[in-house]
Structure 1
């Protein structure tokens, strides 16, 4: 068994916890466990119950962090659907509820291949990981020059490609530009070049609402 992916994911979890509100819960659960241990040592009633509650809380926090990390890591696909709200169509609009991690995630078919996207209004172009591009049959444009993209980790090189069909809810976009950027990581990003084709989009009550200006699918 190759333990490197597992170790990498555990390192990402360790880096995620300090930057989230879950850190407070972790500290509280550890403190509760310490109190329970003291009560058991001094034979105080209820110590075992407190220790059990502390353990259950820590397990719950670990699962919550794992689910959040899994959203960005296809190696943990078994966890990606946990807690993911379902997108739906209402009154001709596609509605995407905010996920518990504070992001908008959606499911779309790319050239007939289902995959998951992070909606990023700060991204100019839609971007695919190398694995996702391969699965959808996306290839760099013939004779095209690589483009440079600025990210939080610096400037990376990406190849331009064309998506024949990107379909979600009651919306289908054809012939949109995108980039294949292995250095961006394993997350696919739906950028403004897709959102700008819509008649409009808005966020209301924790939901992203897409009003199609694109061909409406049946």
Structure 2
């Protein structure tokens, strides 16, 4: 058992002792004492189980509530974001770029986060006016893009400042979160149809 579980067990036993003392101090039948004691044992048992598995319970609750409100593809558990794989095999996420809602595809094969020109303009992205564009190789051929900076991006509970981005009209409506975002996280992984994103901590920043 973990240290927290041991503390919870000691607390529960102490509480049960107090309840038992109170029951025996009253002049009631043995049958009622047993029923009451069993009820308190069940209550404290549920408390210990709930506390021990609080993260799992929160994950289930978040998923159920997500199904009810229609945002079931991403679930927040504490400071961790879980993203369910879409029917197209990709991982999509709703983010806020400078407080503007933007739908992103998460692509670990993309080096840099990329945004469509009109989406970047709507989010007031600081786009470079350099006459020398960046040439990118895409599935549809080479694309000339401008460099920019996302002043603030929030994906679920995860927040970053001053994230480099490339912007091009040729991206159409496509917006992609790349490795320059993922690499700044504490960790990220894909398992059992979910992508799990965890924030950086002082130890891994």
TM-score by length of structure 2 reads: 0.61
The answer as to whether partners of 1:105 and 1:117 remain within 8 angstroms in 2 is yes
Task: Give the distance between the partners of 2:97 and 2:189, measured in 1 at CA.
Answer: 23
**Residues 119-178 of structure 1, C-alpha deviations (whole Å, 9 max, x = no match):** 111111101111211110114224473101110111110000000000011110100100
Q: Given that residues 104 and 118 in structure 1 are in contact (C-alpha distance below 8 angstroms), is that contact kept between their aligned partners in structure 2?
A: yes
Q: What runs of 5+ residues in structure 2 fail to find an aligned partner?
A: 1-69
Match of 1:195 in 2: 182
1:158 maps to: 145
Query: Could you say which structure has the higher strand fraction?
Result: 2
Work out whether residues 117 and 171 of structure 2, in 8 Å CA contact, stay in contact via their aligned partners in 1.
Answer: no
Larger Rg: 2
Alpha carbons of 1:142 and 1:185: their partners in 2 closer, same or farther (altered >3 Å)?
Answer: closer
Q: Which runs of 4+ in 1 moved over 4 A?
A: none
Matches for 1:1-218 after TM superposition, within 5 Å = 85-143=72-130, 145-213=132-200
Number of equivalenced pairs: 133
Alignment check: 8 A CA contact 1:97 1:206 kept: yes
Q: Name structure 1 gaps, 5 residues minimum.
A: 1-82
Shift of 1:84: 6.4
Partner Cα separation in structure 1 for residue 79 and residue 124 of structure 2: 30
SS at match of 1:183: helix
Alpha-carbon separation, structure 1, partners of 2:189 and 2:87: 19
**How many angstroms apart in 1 are the aligned matches of 2:164 and 2:201?**
15
Pairwise CA RMSD of aligned residues?
1.9
Q: Is the 1:144–1:160 contact (alpha carbons within 8 Å) kept by the matching residues of 2? A: no
> Contact conserved, 1:173 with 1:214, CA < 8 A, in 2?
no
The alignment's TM-score, normalised by the length of structure 1, stands at: 0.57
SS at match of 2:127: coil
